[in-house]
Amino acid sequence: MHHHNPTHQQSFAKSRRLIAPLLSALCLASAPIAVNASGGDPFIKAKPFAENMEPVRQHPEQLAAAEKKLAELEERTGKKPNILIFLVDDMGWGDPGAFGGGLAVGAATPNIDRLAEQGLKLTSTYSQPTCTPTRAAMMTGRLPARTGLTRPTLTGEAARVNPWDNEETAASLLSDAGYVTALSGKWHLGVGDGSQPQQVGYDEYFGILSVVSEFTQGLDDHKYPELIRNPERMAALKQLSTSAVTAGKKGELAKVITDLDSLDKVAEIDQQFADFSEDFIDRAAKSDKPFYLVHSFSRVHNDNFSASEFKGKSLARTPYKDAVVEVDDIVGRLIHKLEEKGIADNTLVFFTSDNGANEDAWPDAGFHPWRAAYLGH
């Protein structure tokens, strides 16, 4: 998708199409399903709506209902709704209490459960097989085969083509529509110049450009001795990969904030992300603009090392379950921040995981009832 300097009105129309799941979530969950009484084809046919986009099965009644709710919300609050997306890394479907996990599997999730109880459970969607394509689909609204972001970039791998040269993110469209935008936490959609989040539509970025296992593999002597005890391999790793929390403003190249040169530092990065997100919400609430914030956890992707505040806090008292409790606590912190600022009623909040539990990392992984599984990245 190429940029054509759209007007705010055109851009917001495009943003509505790109973030269709957000609009659909506003529709009445109890709305009856229309049946073709005449005995014709009961299936909704997919229709193309743009030359460079996949055909979609359109639901005009639901879209009209969603836009009516959005209009009423804006009239009442004087602002378009804020959007907060919680994106967890590799959480199992059966980890949250709302889906049968919680205390039953060793880690209570009261804040996540509260979102499920007070909102809608959106249980039917297609997931991609690994982190990068899932995130690409969410950021662009397009199949990963279209963007080329079909798998994670490997350590030290240099992309021959930057897919972001021809793609547009939801953040970019919403920014054009008057939103302030930020990504907090894991990106995993490119580390090079021109492919970082603050270079593809986000006003602000604070987090990690790759994945937490990229850092722990050079630090955990117990799990990765054949790498860490080999000076030549360690020298190559350090040359190919930068282990750091980084940050940047729109258009800039990200700068190192924290060198992740110890497991203790890696264990605390989600607390850094939470601090940034709280600060962003504070600043955005004072603005006359709505905000779009993707809070993207490094948790609970392997390898999990408990943050000091959460060590042994889960009922199971294992690093993975402590990480689930930490995720839930951060969800509670940011929801409380919305309530504290008086903007919770004008914020669309979504909670999802990019993939299910990573079974090949067990026991550093969660639960799900499925026969098949996500096996690493």
Catalytic (active-site) positions: 131, 188
Phi, psi torsion values for 82, nearest 5 degrees: -70, 155
Between CA 96 and CA 105 the distance in angstroms is 9
Q: Please tell me the total number of residues recorded for the chain in this structure.
A: 377
Q: Please, are residues 370 and 356 in contact by the beta-carbon 8 Å criterion?
A: yes
Q: Are strands 46-47 and 56-57 parallel, antiparallel or unpaired?
A: antiparallel
Token code pair at residue 124: 């039917």
For residues 91 and 298, is the Cβ–Cβ distance under 8 A?
A: no
CA distance linking residue 246 with residue 258, whole number of Å = 7
**Rounded Cα distance, 166 and 173, in Å:** 14
What's the longest Cα–Cα distance across the chain?
74
Return d(Cα 291, Cα 24) in angstroms, integer. 19
Q: Rounded to 5 degrees, what angle do the CA atoms 296, 302, 305 make?
A: 90
Are the beta carbons of 297 and 327 closer than 8 angstroms?
yes
Cα separations in angstroms, 186 against 189, 214, 231: 9, 12, 29
Neighbouring C-beta atoms of residue 43, cutoff 10 Å:
8
Answer for the pair 46, 53: CB distance below 8 angstroms, yes or no. no
> Is residue 132 exposed (0-12), middle (13-18) or buried (19+ Cβ within 10 Å)?
buried
- In sequence order, the 6+-apart residues with CB closer than 8 A to the CB of 63 are 20, 23, 24
